Structure 1
């Protein structure tokens, strides 16, 4: 389906080469100051043609607010956002009338629907993510203004090239997650805050481009200042919703939260996050192997996770494959494609994180508001014994 969320619902529409792409957002709180400029910043970070590391398709991706706002503020009614497609070259995809592209969605879409978009990837194209990024920018503005929540993603690896902070130094990683800013991320075209690693990553992407090939990578994201209590056990745990959101992004193949797969190599005595006083009458954790989520519910620490992206499927090298009729042949794909998607995936990951947190926050606010109308819960029902 093309709708995501419960209390904050986003429906995206459009294919890679249709007239426009965009979204409809339902559940935006009324009274939020909102302009097209608030949304455009993230769309500009996502757009193609940013540097020689990305596809040269020249789309400005200018957003228009069609509904749900008056005098610069949201009305609480559905918001429609549209972006026109302009730099289209459908003729670049004539070969895909004969050949399904290896590892792309041409064949699976045809099997599912009995028809597929004749050019580009249709709904499987990364242009579909424009609606996600636009909606995420709206959610993020509310989260920042109402709760001070900050979301920052960055490229943590390209191919086999990774950042030094991910070499098992947990203190260095946590320090980076606590201070990283988008300005620091955007300082290089590859969007990696490690200067030395960034140079090697750029060289790797350019080498793939020159060889008419592609490479994958990972994006790490941190969400700061999230209040404790977000997430819905059992099937809508916060990390489960994040995994759902991230793995719905085109080209994703993996997701881990907190210590992730590395945590499987530790013992419980090493991995457990001990509680300490937070100085405000509550508790916090001394470490954060849990990635800010315990029991599927946010605990007030930084939420952080990593998303794996495969090499883009469409490459310009000749590939031995089969036609739709099953005959052996060679696909010589044309078109303009990213040799590596992770630099442009950064704002997409941020957007999907914002949608998940926004939805969980509105659901929890509804629960808290209805509970506040009742008498206080007796201490014995809280399961807390006085010392």
Structure 2
């Protein structure tokens, strides 16, 4: 049990709110930062995030603000939870907060994806270490695992990995998050956990597309979905190894196969839903390529983070000269080079 600590969570989406609730239920003071004022008002006045996590009662120890600097100030722990597209801009805004400038806050990240680098995309932790004060080099904590926000918010049993080069910081977040329903395990493989978290969203888009196609197909069924799941795990391992993952068992743990499985199969998964909507609803029909989708990503009814991750994973695939059929498949579909059905025949199962 972590006593007498304050926590700031930067991002009041479903996942940030669910993590905030899990911590606040332990009697710890948690303040969420919300970009939308109505979300902050809903949390403060009605103890519910009606926009992103409706129907979940939030404890009094969880409050919200639309003031980013306030949310990051005077906090023992800061958790970055904004989507990857906006994460770097947010980090640049909070680096002047005194407790961050002085390295007094322990910082964790629950955002999934990659960030742009000078020559090729990089893991989130690596990029943030170059912007945050030097105290944080090797001290950031990355947290991931099979953890849909809806189930975490309901107190359903969930496992997470807390990964850091600094084992003490990994343990600090493990203790902060641990509860009867939330089980957290430590890891030193920061790159492997991050790669798994980013790529599983890309694989889930492919899985969703096949799930939709099998409704009117004699070719695609449960066997094909399991084939994609297993091949997807292999691509996680190949790209993770190329990027510097240190522990092969990361990919067979809840950080790898566990998160991949739930993201592909659960009805809560936005990226799985996005793959289905590409096939069944033509959700990307108005756009000419992946860049146009990303430029208009906030206009979609939900945010599929696998789109940004796919573009960067494709760049990494080329940079490392890897053959990753699922990543290639999803990229070519999002870039409007193939329809999902044609891409399946021409790329994925070739």
Give me the TM-score of the superposition, normalised by structure 2: 0.23
- Structure with the largest fraction of helix: 2
- Structure with the largest fraction of strand: 1
* Structure whose alpha-carbon radius of gyration is higher: 1
Larger RCO: 1 or 2 (CA < 8 Å, sep 6+): 1
